[in-house]
């Protein structure tokens, strides 16, 4: 073997060993060299949210893997439909009578403490709120016991129910209403409050008053008055005693009376602000010689004439110097109070006291009054 060739071979081997040793010493041990196969391109894998668990893969033949079948998602049960909540202030439920008639709650004649329903023929069903008769009516369409009061309801309507006392109290609550006062009939007596007062609010909530005042026989038609404020109760009694259809009468100090045309602008101002800016006084010209206060002299004079020309058994209402005349308690007078001027009107010119013209619904009534009052 050629000595020079041998030396060259040994030198190359030594250099190679040195290079390998240096490479091993300098390379980082944490890295691994990955050799990719040139035969197959890498498969693209779609990224998925981290929160979702990756599907388990099942090995298949040929080294490939496929996602395992996932269980079907659980089906949530459908939520039951919730009944619509009943809003505060909604009217009472409709009642279906045995014959299939739908009876509607009456809004026009509703009253605190009573449930009122329209009935056939213009009549009204009336029950005390929470009573057994009302429960029977709501479930069966008819109470087990039925009582009737003909013509005692509003506008002369007939009342039906299960309790005579309840019908009477309801009728009294409407019959003895007065401007500015809230009246509730109960057990044959009348609870009286100033409309909108705290005492009235508490009574409406609880059905009783923490403080109770009783005025025996001092109410209209000798009824007993109950309430929380004696001053309010006595003022109500005066208003009912001297009130007339079409007029608003309020008790004033020292036995005097405020008089307004009901529903007029002056009347509304008095209710909201008290004493009017303009005041007229008619001394001792009212009923029983009482002094009248108001803002319209003509209205006050008509009111005074209504009492001046009164006669036993008749109701007289002055209007623009003329006199409306009705028999006390008659159906014609009840219609006049509810609706105003009657459809049929009889006139006797100059036949009344002091030559006044008389008006009414029946000629015989006007003639009888003219004789009783000393007319012509």
What pLDDT shows up at residue 17? 58
What pLDDT shows up at residue 89? 39
What pLDDT shows up at residue 276? 85
CB 132 within 8 A of CB 139: no
Domain ranges, ordered by start, for the chain: 95-172, 176-242, 244-308, 314-376
What pLDDT shows up at residue 93? 53
What pLDDT shows up at residue 357? 95
Q: What is the DSSP string of 47-78?
A: ---TTSPPPPEEE-GGG-EEEPPPPPPPPPPP
Q: How far apart are CA 14 and CA 17, in angstroms?
A: 5
User: In a 10 Å sphere around its CB, with 0-12 CB exposed, 13-18 middle and 19+ buried, how is residue 158 labelled?
Assistant: middle
Tell whether the torsion through CA atoms of 23, 24, 25 and 27 is positive or negative: positive
Stretches in the chain below the pLDDT threshold 70: 1-103, 375-376
């Amino acid at each position: 073997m050629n000595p020079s060739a041998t030396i060259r071979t040994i030198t190359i081997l030594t250099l190679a060993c040195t290079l390998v040793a240096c490479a091993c010493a300098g390379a980082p041990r944490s890295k691994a060299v990955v050799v990719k196969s040139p035969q197959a391109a890498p498969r693209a894998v779609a990224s998925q949210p981290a929160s979702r668990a990756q599907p388990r893969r099942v090995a298949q033949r040929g080294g490939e893997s496929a996602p395992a079948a996932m269980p079907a998602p659980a089906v949530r049960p459908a939520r039951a439909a919730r009944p619509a909540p009943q809003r505060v202030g909604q009217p009472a439920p409709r009642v279906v009578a045995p014959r299939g008639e739908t009876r509607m709650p009456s809004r026009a004649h509703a009253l605190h403490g009573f449930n009122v329903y329209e009935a056939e023929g213009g009549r009204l069903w009336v029950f005390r709120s929470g009573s057994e008769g009302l429960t029977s009516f709501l479930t069966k369409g008819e109470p087990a016991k039925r009582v009737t009061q003909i013509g005692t309801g509003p506008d002369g309507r007939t009342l039906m129910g299960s309790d005579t006392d309840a019908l009477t109290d309801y009728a009294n609550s409407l019959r003895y209403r007065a401007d500015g006062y809230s009246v509730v009939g109960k057990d044959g007596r009348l609870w009286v409050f100033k409309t909108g007062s705290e005492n009235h609010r508490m009574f409406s909530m609880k059905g009783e008053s923490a403080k109770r005042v009783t005025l025996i026989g001092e109410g209209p038609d000798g009824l007993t008055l109950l309430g929380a404020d004696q001053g309010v109760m006595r003022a109500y009694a005066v208003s009912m005693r001297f009130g007339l259809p079409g007029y608003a009468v309020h008790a004033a100090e020292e036995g005097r009376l405020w008089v307004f045309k009901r529903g007029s602008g002056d009347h509304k101002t008095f209710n909201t602000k008290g004493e009017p800016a303009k005041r007229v006084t008619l001394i001792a010209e009212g009923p029983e010689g009482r002094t009248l206060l108001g803002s319209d002299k003509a209205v006050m004079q008509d009111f005074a004439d209504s009492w001046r020309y009164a006669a036993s058994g008749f109701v007289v209402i002055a209007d623009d110097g003329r006199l409306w005349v009705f028999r006390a308690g008659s159906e014609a007078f009840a219609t006049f109070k509810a609706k105003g001027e009657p459809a049929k009107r009889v006139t006797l010119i100059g036949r009344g006291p002091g030559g006044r013209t008389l008006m009414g619904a029946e000629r015989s009534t006007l003639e009888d009054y003219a004789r009783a009052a000393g007319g012509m």
